[in-house]
A and B are shown apart, each in its own frame.
Chain A
């Protein structure tokens, strides 16, 4: 079992370059918070947070599905503001450390063209007990959707559209509370 440092404290400098159009290079803020054009390896990401003290790992895998809003989806193109996205993932880790101090998080998001059935995001949360792992994992994906500077460009049969979800206000406590309530439901 490889040792895992606490993600929330691993604020080393951001390494790697990036391409704002397609995210053609890997960008990471520690091994735990990563934006990458490469396929996501669930087992490897889970291993980042596992330790001998950990009795549970909750893993969320976001997949590209073949339909959305009545459209037949062909593929998705993800774009990220790379350095800010990984810093935002670390911020989410810090936030999760409040209610779930025993949980250790990893958040990896893929960019560029992603085919139907492939993973766009993987979140792993490890903890001594399952409740904290589930809570931190659910909280993290809710916050990724609320505040991470990542965009999906949907290519469907007959056209393409930028999906626009949440207008970011990171200081919005109501949004944070919503994510927390979903994590505890």
Chain B
């Protein structure tokens, strides 16, 4: 399946991009997508703790299943306001 990975703030800067396409073998979860991201961008590995994820613009768990075409976002600790 092909998913879109979105990155924000520090994670975006470290990866050098805010959006990537990632091919994943089925079945896949948000964690699978993160692991694929780390394989291509090892500098993000230290940030798993403290990172939240969202699937199709809704907060999700690392175990949330992905399907073809999904957008999975990895979110550093937030600081709005």
Chain A residues within 8 Å of B, Cβ to Cβ: 20-21, 62, 78-81, 83-85, 87, 109, 120-121, 141, 144-153, 162-171
Contacts and interface: CB of A to CB of B under 8 A. Distances in A.
B10 A150 contact: no
A150 B79 contact: yes
B12 A148 contact: no
Contacts of B70: none
B81 A81 contact: no
Given A81-B6, A84-B57, A151-B8, A168 B81 contact: no
Nearest to A162: B10
Given A83-B57, A165-B78, 19 more contacts: A20-B12, A79-B8, A81-B73, A84-B58, A87-B58, A148-B81, A149-B54, A149-B75, A152-B80, A162-B13, A162-B76, A164-B50, A165-B77, A165-B79, A166-B79, A167-B50, A167-B51, A167-B77, A170-B59
Interface string B59-74: 1000000000000010
8 contacts: A20-B6, A84-B73, A150-B78, A150-B81, A151-B80, A164-B76, A167-B52, A168-B52
Select the residue from A109, A147, A167 with max chain B CB neighbours within 10 A.
A167
Interface residues of B, number: 23
Nearest to B57: A84
B78 A166 contact: yes
Contacts of A20: 6, 8, 12, 18-19
Interface in B1-41: 6, 8-10, 12-13, 18-19
Nearest to A150: B80
A120 B81 contact: yes
Given A84-B54, A87-B58, A149 B81 contact: no
Contact of A81 (B8, B77, B79): B8
